[in-house]
Chain A
Amino acid sequence: MSMVEKKLSTKTQVILTLLFILGMALLLWWADKGFDSYKQRVLRLIGIYAIMAVSLNLINGITGIFSLGHAGFILIGAYTAAILTLTPSEKAMSYLFGIQPWIKNLHADFFTATLAGGFMAALAAFLIGWPVLRLTGDYLAIASLGFAEIVRIWANNALTITNGPLGLKAIPEYSNIWWVYGWLLFTVVFIASLVYSSYGRALKAIRESRIAAESMGINVFKHQLMSFVVGAFFAGISGSLYAHWLTTVDPRITTMGPMLTFYVLIMIVLGGLGSITGSLIGAAIFAILFEWLRDLEQPFNFFGITVPGIPGIRILVISALFIAVMIFWQRGIMGREELTWNNLYKWLFARRKEGEKS
């Protein structure tokens, strides 16, 4: 049985997409006004996580590079942007060990700082990509994980640049809903148009078979590097947004260390490796679940029994959940499919047709 390629015309799809974006904007506007500040923070976190997930999905899910260095790029973006948005006098206050003179007077607005964070992360990816992308599989994973750790430990020790283990405090909370979701829209549009072009097909071909891709005239190394750099750029962007959401940056393992990489990995595997819409769904589910599980860390009443809260138990719960997904639901929510208007239409239509038959 051959499948039909298209059901909806391009025009219909464009109109539906614009309507969807408008609807989301209205929803966000309403949330911006009506939500309490805690819910708003979670909503913004969802957007930031979504950028991280979509960018890691380009590297891991589409191109098949098993990179565990995402937190490194996020950290670079976060520090770059935070150093730029802090004013010289604020910096003078927080740097207790002295400050590099060339950093002291650097200052930029939030947009420029975020962009700079993205470009710094992309530059790091370009430099690290040359040696690391010669490896494959487990070796690449370990090398990229090592890179992220090197960046973190460097940040811990470069006192006059990053303020060392004290980190940067009192970063202005610039990441409002509009910045976060504006950048998310840009990220999704950029990566989706890349993935659904000839370049995206080449990246998927590399994932399927490196040797065959090379034999079909694809410069595998160049394309992998491109995917790595683009993914890192958006990781840097998300890092800046994250820093201005958290209002601090520090080089601890739990904030921007390997833990963050694994959180993002959970999101994309949960959503479906290789699916952009899956990454968005995965990020939303993860952020909400992770916040909701905070209740377990407080003492709570369970059918009359008072359970003492265990700090950090939510990480255990989410890890167990992740293992369950890996065992029972390997393809995640979306698999490699996308939630497009066409697919939505097809699923609804096909289901109705089946219903008619029976």
Chain B
Amino acid sequence: MSEGRVNQLEKEAVKSKAEVNEPVLVLDHVTMQFGGLIAVNDFDNKVIKGELLGLIGPNGAGKTTVFNVVTGIYYPTKGRIIFDDIDITPFKPYQITHLGIARTFQNIRLFYDLTVLENVLVAQHHELSNPDADRILMRNGKSPKNTQKMWFWRAVTKLGYTSKEKEMLERAKNLIEKVGLSHVMYEKASALPYGEQRKLEIARALATEPKLLLLDEPAAGMNPKETEDLMSFIRRVRDEFNVTVFLIEHDMKVVMGVCERIIVMDYGKIIAEGTPEEIQNNPRVIEAYLGKEWENV
């Protein structure tokens, strides 16, 4: 069987799975308004568990704002956001991360003066220090990520802490190995080449052990070779780490090559939705990107 055929079958399998599976994230008529500007206008869609969803649109369409609303950086003007059956609309970014949404940034935001290993370890810290987010989990009938208390005093006195530190270190090294950064484990993040910095940012997001991974333009600024690697990397991440991936991308090659479903935004509104093939031939999408043809105006 040719590889293309296998991919086709896989995509169909995922598609049918998606139909029976419940959504992991629901954006329920979300509107985000900044003064007179409506950045996101009545966004009503959902992310299905296990899928690879793309969000595209011309510059200023409101894509990143959607991510910022989901991760709690902005509080939506209207609408609700439901993640894993919990209404996360009022929660703060660190609480939402604790509940299981991790993200990367359009312009890379690594902890540059820390090593690769430390960058990944930082992302595990929330397990110790977020009792308020754990209470949210328990209120909704889910198991908390941390049942022991007084981690600050444990860390300072080193009583009942070293085993946890060892376990975190083990996990972080494992993750770095898996994503293929072990050769730079003790290098500072600022010393990595661009492509590896992007990879590290994804690895750091994965270290929070998310259910949903939001990638904001992961291929921005990459050369074709790096982009190629990234595409296979994203697919591998989805399968190996068992996460749902929701990504914003400008590079059409990446979106069409990786995503199983695509949402197109323009001026804050969803203008189209469907498989890559459907999107490619959708006249409204072509219009949004290239403008109307002269005769049609």
User: Contact: B130 with A208, CB < 8 Å?
Assistant: no
A190 to B93, CA, bound (A): 30
Question: A202 with B122: in contact, given A3-B186, A5-B186 (CB under 8 Å)?
Answer: yes
Contact with A along B203-246 (1 / 0, CB 8 A): 01100100000000000000000000000000000000000000
Contact with B along A207-233 (1 / 0, CB 8 A): 111011111111110110010000000
A212 to B104, CA, bound (A): 9
Question: A201 with B122: in contact, given A194-B156, A212-B110 (CB under 8 Å)?
Answer: yes
A2 to B115, CA, bound (A): 11
Tell me whether B123 is interfacial, beta carbon within 8 Å. Answer: yes
Tell me whether B71 is interfacial, beta carbon within 8 Å. Answer: yes
Chain A residues contacting B128 (CB-CB under 8 Å) are 198-199
- Nearest-Cβ distance from residue A30 to partner chain B, whole angstroms: 32
User: Contact: A201 with B185, CB < 8 Å?
Assistant: no
User: Contact: A199 with B158, CB < 8 Å?
Assistant: no
Chain A residues contacting B113 (CB-CB under 8 Å) are 204, 207-208, 336
Chain A residues contacting B126 (CB-CB under 8 Å) are 216-218
- Nearest-Cβ distance from residue B15 to partner chain A, whole angstroms: 31
Q: For chain B residues 116-141, which have a beta carbon within 8 Å of chain A?
A: 118, 121-126, 128-130, 132-133
In the complex formed, the residue of B with least CB distance to A209 is B109
Tell me whether A197 is interfacial, beta carbon within 8 Å. Answer: yes
Interface size class of B (residues with CB under 8 A): 35 or more
- Nearest-Cβ distance from residue A333 to partner chain B, whole angstroms: 17
- Nearest-Cβ distance from residue B130 to partner chain A, whole angstroms: 6
A218 to B94, CA, bound (A): 5
Tell me whether A268 is interfacial, beta carbon within 8 Å. Answer: no
User: Contact: B122 with A216, CB < 8 Å?
Assistant: yes
User: Contact: A212 with B105, CB < 8 Å?
Assistant: yes
For the A-B complex, the count of residue pairs with Cβ-Cβ distances under 8 Å equals 117
Tell me whether B112 is interfacial, beta carbon within 8 Å. Answer: yes
Question: A215 with B130: in contact, given A193-B156, A194-B155 (CB under 8 Å)?
Answer: no
In the complex formed, the residue of A with least CB distance to B105 is A212
Chain B residues contacting A204 (CB-CB under 8 Å) are 111, 113-114, 118, 122
Interface size class of A (residues with CB under 8 A): 20 to 34
Tell me whether B157 is interfacial, beta carbon within 8 Å. Answer: yes
Chain B residues contacting A201 (CB-CB under 8 Å) are 114, 118, 121-122, 125
A197 to B118, CA, bound (A): 11
Tell me whether A205 is interfacial, beta carbon within 8 Å. Answer: yes
User: Contact: A213 with B186, CB < 8 Å?
Assistant: no
Contact with A along B79-111 (1 / 0, CB 8 A): 000000000000011100110001101000111
Question: A222 with B109: in contact, given A193-B155, A202-B122, A205-B114 (CB under 8 Å)?
Answer: no
A-B contact pairs, 20 of them (CB 8 A): A2-B186, A4-B186, A193-B158, A197-B161, A198-B151, A198-B164, A198-B165, A199-B128, A201-B121, A201-B125, A205-B114, A208-B114, A212-B111, A216-B97, A216-B123, A216-B204, A216-B205, A217-B125, A219-B94, A220-B94
Question: 16 extra interchain contacts, Cβ-Cβ under 8 A, other than A205-B122, A212-B105?
Answer: A2-B187, A5-B186, A193-B156, A194-B156, A197-B156, A198-B151, A198-B155, A199-B152, A208-B114, A215-B103, A216-B94, A216-B97, A216-B122, A216-B123, A216-B205, A218-B94
Taking Cβ atoms with an 8 Å cutoff, the residues of B that contact A are 71, 92-94, 97-98, 102-103, 105, 109-114, 118, 121-126, 128-130, 132-133, 151-152, 155-158, 161, 164-165, 168, 183-187, 204-205, 208
